Structures are given as C-alpha cells and as structure tokens.
Amino acid sequence: MTYTSALTYATQRQPLDHQIGALLSESDAVPVDFRVMSVIVPGSDHLEGASLAADVYRSLPATDQDTVVSIASNSGEEFKRITVCSLDRYHTPLGDVPVDDKIRNELCDEDDDIFLDDRGHFLRHGLDVNLPFLQKVLGSFNVVPLVMGSESPEFCKELGHAVGEVMANRRMLVVACVDIVEATEEGMERFRHHLKELDVASMMTLLNREEGIKVDGKGPLLVAMMASAYRRANDVAIRGLRLPQMGIPGFAGALIGRR
C-alpha cells in the first residue's frame, strides 16, 4: 500500500532529536497505573501518526524496561518465516541500541519458524521509526527486532506463545507496529471493542475477514495481545484510534498490561 504524505521523520540526529523531543513534550498523556507489557503504535514513517505514538510512549510508567521486543509486518520481499535480525547493535540517528542475543536465541529455540535472518528488516517503518521514541523515553535498554514474513493464524499463535514464554520474570516491553489501511466507523468500533476486551479470537476473525477494517500489522497486533494475555494481562488503555483519510493511513495507539 502506497500513501501520499509530505510529512516524515527526519533522518539526521539533531532534527530528529528535536522532532521527537517536541512531540513528547507537547503530549498531555499521563502514565497509566498498571504494569505495561505491550504497546500498539503506528508503524509507518508518517508524522500524522507521531503525536499518537508520543501519547503512548508518554503513558509508560516510570519503571525500567531492560528489553524491547519489536514486532513488525513484512513490507519487502515475501518470505514465510519469522525473522530476527543478525545485528549486534541496531543503529538510529540518536545512537546505537544493543541487540539482546540471549533473548534472540531463546526465541529461535522456542519455535522452528523463528530464524536469525535479515529479510524484512532495515526498512523505514516499524522499529526504525519507533526506536528513537524509546531511546528518548527509556534511555538504556536492549532490543530484539522481529519481522513476520507471514501473519497467518498459526504464525501468530506460535510467536505469541514464544514471546509470552520469554517475557517470564523479565522487564520486557513488546512493541507492535500497526497501521490501519482501510476502515469504516463500524469496523473501527469493533476493533476498539475487541482490543479493549483483549478478545484475541474475535480480533483475529475481524482482521482476517477484513470486513470493515484492513490492518497493516495485524500479526504484530495479535501477537502482542496473545503474549500479554499469556502473562495474564487484564487492562488496556487506548490512547487513540484514527481513521484513514486522504491517502494517509489510520493509526492505533494503546497500552496493554496487568493491574
């Protein structure tokens, strides 16, 4: 899907640092009062969704997160596997972030469909547009970048279980990169309801049928919901849902966790 927009994130350190800092300082969001396990954030390089991303990241409680597991859908060559990038450090204009090799290997051991592979990575979406926010908000942390070459129900269940397993006894945050390609108001309301209720089965049915809503990043969204539910999440704070309009994707912003 190609969108039309003149507003994108800066590619150099100083303007990007100013851009992200201004977005965070202008947000009036307040931290949620539960332990956050996953966040749903825009994944495309469009500043139209940046204020919503800032609201989500400003809503994180002031607790340390050692590791961020980022999950994005594939927008490059087709492949039917889940890939973890091979880099030791992931670069952004704001500096490098270490890749957590231990958790990366644990995920590969958890499921035969998760591979150390760079396919689907290093594109200007997903982790690359969210990592600068995380660097400003979290400071020091490790990252595990995942890309879903297939978003089938089977792959979603496999990855949701694997991520849920490695989250045990760790200060880990799952970041699901999601954009809304098409949506009616009714479809968006159903999306809101299923997300708020953490109803994975109904959300999977809604997104796979694409009746009233079509999402780029349905796999990451479902995996974040599944992994959080696996860790007994019981609360969702939705910071915003925006319909697509005039060639610009729609956006979702939410935090999932346990009270």
Domains assigned to the chain: 34-75+86-144+163-245+253-258 (3.40.830.10)
**Helical axes 13-26 vs 127-138, angle rounded to 10°:** 70
Give the tokens for residue 252.
Answer: 């979702």
Q: 10 Å Cβ neighbour count for 124? A: 12
This model's pTM is above 0.75: yes
- Four-residue CA torsion sign, 15, 60, 32, 220: positive
Q: Are strands 172-177 and 67-73 parallel, antiparallel or unpaired?
A: parallel
Give the tokens for residue 24.
Answer: 């965070």
Tens-level pLDDT at each residue, the chain (259 residues)? 444 444 788 989 999 999 999 999 999 999 999 999 999 999 988 888 899 999 999 999 987 789 999 999 987 677 889 999 999 999 999 999 999 999 999 999 988 899 999 988 887 778 999 999 999 999 899 999 999 999 999 999 999 999 999 999 999 999 999 999 999 999 999 999 999 999 999 999 999 998 899 999 999 999 999 999 999 999 999 999 999 987 788 999 999 999 9
**Helical axes 153-166 vs 200-209, angle rounded to 10°:** 140
Give the tokens for residue 175.
Answer: 């970041």
Residue type, 151: E
Q: To 5 degrees, how large is the angle CA 24–CA 26–CA 29? A: 75
